[in-house]
Structure 1
Amino acid sequence: MATPAVQLDVEGIEVRLSSPDKVYFPELGISKLDLANYAMGVGEGFLAGLKMRPTTLERWPGGVRQGMKLTTRAGGKGDAFYQKRAPEKRPEWVDVAEVKFPSGRPATAITPSNLATIIWAMNLGTLRFHPWPVSAPEVDLVDQLRIDLDPQPGTDFRDAVAAALELRTVMMEFGLEPYPKTSGGRGVHVFCMIEPVPFVDARHAVIAIGRELARRMPAKVSVDWWKEERGERIFVDFNQMARDRLMASPYSVRPVPQARVSAPLTWDELPDAHPDDFTVLTMADRYRERGDVWAPLYASTPQSLDAVLERYGHDIESGLTDMPYPPEYPKMPGEPPRVQPSKQRRPHSDYSSPTDQRE
C-alpha cells in the first residue's frame, strides 16, 4: 500500500511530496523524504548553484538499483531520463525562461528561484540538476566559466586533483578566481564567475586554458577530443562549455549506490578529499559546520576573459585550430573536419569527431 503524500513547508511554500517512503537508494535505505530533507538541509547552497539558471533535470523515478540505465541519445531506452523542457503542469512559483538548443529550436526551461522548486523537482525523481552557465533573462551570455577534469581509463580522482591544483595556478595567472568541487564521481570541476560573454568565447577560453594546462602537464593532461589520442591522462572537456551541455550542480546527488553528492570544496581541502567523503548521509553535518564553502564564489567580482581569449588568438595564429563541437551541433565556423584521426585519409592538424566519444 502506497504511503500517503505529505505536505512540506519549504520556506513558506507548500510542496506536495508523494510516496515519501519510496526508497531511492536501497543499500542505504534513503527514501524520497530523506532526499527532500537533505536538500532542505543544504538549501541555501543548493539554490545558489541553480538560481535563475536554465536547468535540465536528471530524473530517476524508479530510484537507483543495480542494472538501471539512463536513457541516452544512442540507446534510446532506459529507466531514467533527462528532462530539458519544463513540465507543462507546474506550480506558479516554478520560474521558467526561453532558451535555444544548438539546433536553434526554442524551449522553455525551469530556472529555479526558490528552494521549493528543487523539492518539487525531487518529487519528480530528480537526483542531478544540470544548470546552464547563464542566468535568466540573459540566457545567451555565459557568466560562469566551468572546467571539467575528466579522468580517462588508467587515471583516477587523485590524478584529477593534481591537474586541478595546477589548473588553479594557470587560471590565476589569467586573472581568474577559481573554486573546486567534486563531480560526485572520479572527476573534479572548477568554476569561476566571469563578465558575461557569448558561448563561443567561453568555450574558446576553456580550450586556451586546457591547452596551457596540457603544455605544463603533457604526460598527465590532454585536450584531445578523441579517446584514441588521450591515453592515460586527465581530459579537459572543453565542450562542457558549449550550449546545452550537462554538468551537475553543487550538492546534486549522483545516481550511484553510495549516494555521493557533488561537493563544493576549498582549495585547502582538495588534496585530502575523496568522493566517498561526501554523500547524502554526510553532507548535511558538513553543511551545518561549514556552511556553503562556495558562498565566496557567488559573491566574487566577475572577471574578464580578455587575457585568456588573447591567448586563444595567439594559439590560432601559431597554427592551432578550433576544436570539434559535440555531434548534435551544426558545423561551426572554424571547426576542423569531424573525422576520427585513425580514419583520416591524410594527416590533419587538430582533433575532430563525428560522434560524441565521451563515456
Structure 2
Amino acid sequence: MNHTVPTGVATTVEGHRLSLTHLDKPLWPDGWTKGQALHYYARIADVMLPHVRRRPASFLRFPDGVGAQTFYVKTPPPGTPNWVPRADVPSRTEGTKPHVTVDDVASLIALGNLGCLEVHVPQWTAPHPELHDLLVVDLDPGPGTSIVQCARVALAVRALLAHDGLACAVKTSGSKGLHLYAPLRPSPAGRVGAYARSLARALSGALPDRVTATMAKAARTGKVFVDWSQNNTAKTTVAPYSLRAGPFPAVSAPVGWAEVESCERPEELVFTPQQVLDRVERYGDLLGGLLDPVLAGPLP
C-alpha cells in the first residue's frame, strides 16, 4: 500500500493527469479534510479495489462536507474523466444507464476528487446483473439495540449459512450495523433473493424476541432487522473499506469472527481510517476469502 496523494494540485496517478482541488477543505465535523480522505483511499486501494472492481458503483457525494447538501449519485457525475471505466446498468423504469466502475487507483481518486467519497456496489459484476456472486446479510439495529445485538445475531447467521454449506465473512457497516457476505458461484438473482428472504424468515422464527424480517420500521424496536432486500439486483451496499459520511470519519471495516464473538460495547466495532490501515498492515484483508473462487459455494 505505497500509493500517495501529493499535496500539490496537479498530479499523475497511474498515467492519468488529475487536478486535485480543495485538498485542505474540512469535510467531516472534526476537521478531517478532503486531502486526508484521498490519501486514505490511495493507501487502502490495494485491498479495496478487488472488492469493487467491475461492480457498477453508486456514491454518496458530499463536496461541501457531511453537514452540507449531499447527493446520492448513480450515473457518472459532472467532471468524471472519460477514461474512468463505465458499465451499462439496466433499469426497470429508465432504460439502460451508464455507471462508473472503480477498477483502479486513478478512478478511485478521480471520483473522490469530485466529492464521491462513500462508495456503494451491488452483489454482481458487469456485464451480468442477472448473476450474483455474493450473498449479503445486512443486520440493522432497531431502536433500543446496537451493533452488540447485531453481533449476537451474526453468529446465528453464520451457523445457518454453514449448515447450508456457505462460508461467510463479516464487516461493519461503518454506521450502526454489520454486513455478512457469502461468496457464491454465479447464481440467478431471483434465487439469491429468495434464499436471502428465507434465511431472514428462519432467523426471525428462531429468534422472535431479537430478530425481525419485517420492513416496517414500527416492527424493529428492540430487534435487529435482517434486510434481505440488499440482494435485489437494483440495490447496492456500502463497499468494504469505504469511508462513511457520519459525524466523524469512520470506515466500513472487515472484522474477525473473534471480534464479533467478544463484542460487548458498540465502540469495539468502530474504526477510523488510520485504524483500518493499521489493521490491514497487521492482519491483511479479512475479507480475502470472498475473492477465492474455491470458497464460492452453490446456493442450497
State TM-score, norm by structure 1: 0.76
Q: How is 1:72-221 mapped onto 2 (pairs within 5 angstroms)? A: 79-87=69-77, 89-103=79-93, 105-221=95-211
Q: Distance in 2 between matches of 1:222 and 1:102?
A: 29
Pair 1:244 & 2:246 matched: no
Match of residue 20, structure 1, among 23, 26, 34: 23
- Paired residue type of 2:36: D
Deviation at 1:83, TM superposition (A): 0.9
- Paired residue type of 2:190: V
Deviation by residue 1:200-236 (Cα, 9 ceiling, x = unmatched) = 2211110111122222212111111222334421111
Q: Which structure would you say has the larger RCO, counting Cα contacts within 8 Å and 6 or more residues apart?
A: 2
Q: Contact between 1:5 and 1:18, CA under 8 Å: does it hold in 2? A: no
Deviation at 1:12, TM superposition (A): 4.6
- Paired residue type of 2:276: M
- 2:284 is aligned to 291
* Secondary structure in 2 matching 1:24: coil
Cα–Cα, structure 1 residues 87 and 60, in superposed 2: closer, same or farther, change >3 Å?
Answer: closer
Cα–Cα, structure 1 residues 164 and 98, in superposed 2: closer, same or farther, change >3 Å?
Answer: same
Deviation at 1:246, TM superposition (A): 3.3
Q: Distance in 2 between matches of 1:8 and 1:277?
A: 33
Deviation by residue 1:123-171 (Cα, 9 ceiling, x = unmatched) = 1112211101111122322111111011111111100000001100000
* Secondary structure in 1 matching 2:48: helix
Deviation at 1:35, TM superposition (A): 0.5
Q: Distance in 1 between matches of 2:39 and 2:292?
A: 26
Q: Distance in 2 between matches of 1:179 and 1:240?
A: 16
Q: Contact between 1:47 and 1:112, CA under 8 Å: does it hold in 2? A: yes
User: Post-superposition, which runs of at least 4 consecutive aligned residues in structure 1 deviate over 4 A?
Assistant: 273-276
Deviation by residue 1:61-87 (Cα, 9 ceiling, x = unmatched) = 11123xx4xxxxxxxxxx001111123
Which runs of 5 or more structure 2 residues have no equivalent in the other structure?
1-6
Q: Distance in 2 between matches of 1:166 and 1:11?
A: 44
Pair 1:280 & 2:282 matched: no
Q: Distance in 1 between matches of 2:44 and 2:63?
A: 22
- Paired residue type of 1:298: L
- Paired residue type of 2:42: M
State the percentage of identical aligned residues.
31
Q: Distance in 1 between matches of 2:206 and 2:11?
A: 51
**Alignment root-mean-square deviation, CA:** 1.9
Pair 1:49 & 2:51 matched: yes
Q: Distance in 2 between matches of 1:249 and 1:236?
A: 18
- 1:233 is aligned to 223
Deviation by residue 1:7-62 (Cα, 9 ceiling, x = unmatched) = 344345443311111111241x3111111111111111221221110110110111
- Paired residue type of 1:176: L
Pair 1:255 & 2:257 matched: no
Match of residue 6, structure 1, among 9, 21, 26: 9
Q: How is 1:280-319 mapped onto 2 (pairs within 5 angstroms)? A: 280-301=273-294, 302-305=296-299, 307=300
How many residue pairs align between the two structures? 290
Deviation at 1:89, TM superposition (A): 4.7
Larger relative strand fraction? 2
- 1:268 is aligned to 258
Deviation by residue 1:306-343 (Cα, 9 ceiling, x = unmatched) = x2xxxxxxxxxxxxxxxxxxxxxxxxxxxxxxxxxxxx
Q: Contact between 2:143 and 2:220, CA under 8 Å: does it hold in 1? A: no
Match of residue 65, structure 2, among 48, 63, 66: 63
Deviation at 1:290, TM superposition (A): 2.1
Q: Contact between 1:102 and 1:244, CA under 8 Å: does it hold in 2? A: no
Deviation by residue 1:163-192 (Cα, 9 ceiling, x = unmatched) = 001100000111111110000111000011
Q: Contact between 1:253 and 1:261, CA under 8 Å: does it hold in 2? A: yes
Deviation by residue 1:75-108 (Cα, 9 ceiling, x = unmatched) = xxxx001111123653243111111123362110
Q: Contact between 2:137 and 2:180, CA under 8 Å: does it hold in 1? A: yes
- 1:40 is aligned to 42
Deviation at 1:5, TM superposition (A): 5.7
Q: Contact between 2:140 and 2:225, CA under 8 Å: does it hold in 1? A: yes
